[in-house]
Every structure is written in C-alpha cells, then in structure tokens.
Structure 1
C-alpha cells in the first residue's frame, strides 16, 4: 500500500506602504524547516489591490522555497551517492 505524505506551507503577509511582503514556512518530516520570503511593490499610480500584491509576493516566496528544496534534495543525493548531482532550475 502506498505511503501518503503531505506538506502544509504557512504563509504570512505584511503590507508596508506600496510593498507587500510574504514569509513562507515549510516543516518537513525529517524535522527540518525551510523558510522563504517574497515581495511585491505597487507603483504609486496603480490602484490598491491587496490580493494581487499577496499573490505576487506569495508566488515569489514559493519560488524561493522551491529552489531551497531542490538544493536540499540534491545535497542529500550527493551525500548518499558520493557524486555531484545537478538540479534543474525553472
């Protein structure tokens, strides 16, 4: 029977003037945590749309999180095999 695994990413947003900041936190089954940040900046002449700023900042934080997870996984592959692996980047 397959083993099910799941991850929950916690995401928090803050607004500071025209800037939206996102902080992401992922707790992995091995007990480690991966933290990432992203931001979005609204041009002063653009209308205020909090959701859009959160979506952009959140997406950037998740992209950072994905990159860190790739590095972590390839580090574990390298350690287990004694060879250097090459992560593909998006």
Structure 2
C-alpha cells in the first residue's frame, strides 16, 4: 500500500543584541502540530557571524522536534499493542478444608 502526505514546517530565527539566537520550528501535519525550540549563545569574544548562531539554534530546534516525533510514535505503538493477557489462576494445591 502506497502512502504520500505532505507536512508543513515553519522555522523562525531571532537574534537579540546580546548574541542569543532563538529558533522555533513548527510542524503542521494537517491533523495537529508540534513545536521545537532551540537556543544558541555567542561568546562575546567570538566574531559576530549570525549564520553560525542560526545553524546551531535551528539544529537544536529540529532535534527537539525530532525527539517529540519519536516519543509520539512510541506512545502510538504502545497504544496499538494488544493488552497483556490476564494471568490464569493457579489451581489450589494442598489439603482442602
């Protein structure tokens, strides 16, 4: 059985004047959404190269999103598992009173 779907991903990056870059990535599946977050902090002694902060913050946000997707998949699989069978009572042993 073939299955094709398309999910939309929106990534927003914001760098403040102190060199902190924050990333927010939103995954819209059409049935719900997940949001991942990431932060990168430039060392004040480092050269100001915004692309590096963008890459780190975005990568961390995507990693967070990926972790959430895997967690959700595991929970869904667990819910689909057949329930554990009830333990069968052991026959009584010994003298009956």
Report which of the two structures shows the higher radius of gyration computed on alpha carbons: 2
Residue correspondence of structure 1 range 1-90 to structure 2 within 5 A = 2-16=2-16, 17-29=18-30, 31-82=31-82
Task: Quote the residue 2:95 is aligned against.
Answer: none
Q: Is the Cα contact below 8 Å between 2:6 and 2:29 reproduced in 1?
A: no
Matched positions, count: 82
Moved over 2 A (4+): none
Deviation at 1:82, TM superposition (A): 4.2
Deviation at 1:47, TM superposition (A): 1.0
Deviation at 1:2, TM superposition (A): 2.6
Question: TM-score normalised to the size of structure 1?
Answer: 0.82
Gaps of 5+ in 2: 84-97
Question: TM-score normalised to the size of structure 2?
Answer: 0.77
Gaps of 5+ in 1: 84-90
Distance, in Å, in 2 between the alignment partners of 1:82 and 1:28 is 27
